[in-house]
Amino acid sequence: EADIYQTPRYLVIGTGKKITLECSQTMGHDKMYWYQQDPGMELHLIHYSYGVNSTEKGDLSSESTVSRIRTEHFPLTLESARPSHTSQYLCASRGGTANTEAFFGQGTRLTVV
Amino acid sequence: KQEVTQIPAALSVPEGENLVLNCSFTDSAIYNLQWFRQDPGKGLTSLLLIQSSQREQTSGRLNASLDKSSGRSTLYIAASQPGDSATYLCAVHPGTYKYIFGTGTRLKVLA
């Protein structure tokens, strides 16, 4: 069973607020990812990290930022939430070589009103 | 550019049927292919990982095959149950930083 956790599971917040979505894994994985997914739509990679102090932007442009100060944590921050940020955010991790499984958290469904 | 396609986009079957979900990819240079299940509003659950050197993997009622040269993978579900209803996603790992996901097959198994 995957040990990767996202909090909160659901968040409804007003426009202009700063929010941080948490992602933690206890598997010691070096690679971590954030995906954005609208209902019924594809997953889009917005950030990834190869390890501590390593972060890169993904394919989909996002106003969010990430940090990787510790191996197990990969938080995503929106400085000023807007209704266009309403979506589901999925965190994933993978360890070892290229031939290892990726594991996903349960997601955070964000609604900005 | 690697593209991953899943057919059919949606499938509705009566309980007990055996079914096959298809995944096609355009570039055969992959490290592995992974099948996931996603329930509505939830994250992805890993089902099976097939490495590029493997032809198939099995887990319970699930069997996934890989034909790298033709750019195809199939997920076989035996004796389908209503609890199998979900969206099934395949993702290929080309050896770079990310997975490339298919568009998914929405499966509904009718009781």
- Supply the pLDDT for residue B103: 87
CA nearest A90 in B: which residue?
B43
Asked whether the beta carbons of residue B98 and residue A59 sit closer than 8 angstroms, the reply is yes
Rounded Cα distance between B92 and B79, Å, is 26
Rounded CA separation B100/B48 (Å): 16
| Residue A27: strand pairing partners | none
Q: Is A11 exposed, middle or buried (0-12, 13-18, 19+ CB in 10 A)?
A: middle
Structure tokens at A79: 């400085």
Instruction: Say yes or no for a CB contact (<8 Å) between B101 and A107.
Output: no
In degrees and rounded to multiples of 5, residue A7 shows phi and psi of -140, 145
Q: Which one of A23, A99, A103, A110 makes the best mutation probe of the B interface by having the most chain B beta carbons within 10 Å?
A: A99
Confidence class for position A79, pLDDT limits 50, 70, 90: very high
Interchain CB distance below 8 Å, A105 and B43? yes
Question: Does residue A95 belong to the interface with chain B, where contact is any CB pair within 8 Å?
Answer: no
B103 near A CB under 8 A: yes
Distance of CA B72 to the CA centre of its chain: 10
Give residue B17's pLDDT band: very low, low, confident or very high (50, 70, 90).
very high
Tens-place pLDDT, residues A85-100: 999 999 999 987 767 8
Spatial contact of B34 and B46, defined as CB atoms under 8 Å apart: yes
- Encode burial over B20-45: b for 16+ CB neighbours within 10 A, e otherwise: ebebbbeeeebbbbbbbbbeeebbbb
Asked whether the predicted pLDDT for residue A48 surpasses 80, the reply is: yes
Among A24, A43, A47, A103, the strongest candidate for a mutation testing the B interface, having the largest count of B CBs within 10 A, is: A43
Show the tokens assigned to A4. Answer: 């990767």
Read off the pLDDT of residues B31-73 as tens digits, 9 standing for 90 and up.
899 999 999 888 999 999 999 999 999 999 999 999 999 999 9
Instruction: Check B32 against A99: CB less than 8 A apart.
Output: yes
pLDDT band for A1, please (50, 70, 90 cuts). Answer: low
pLDDT for B41 equals: 85
What pLDDT score was predicted for residue B88? 97
pLDDT at A25: 97
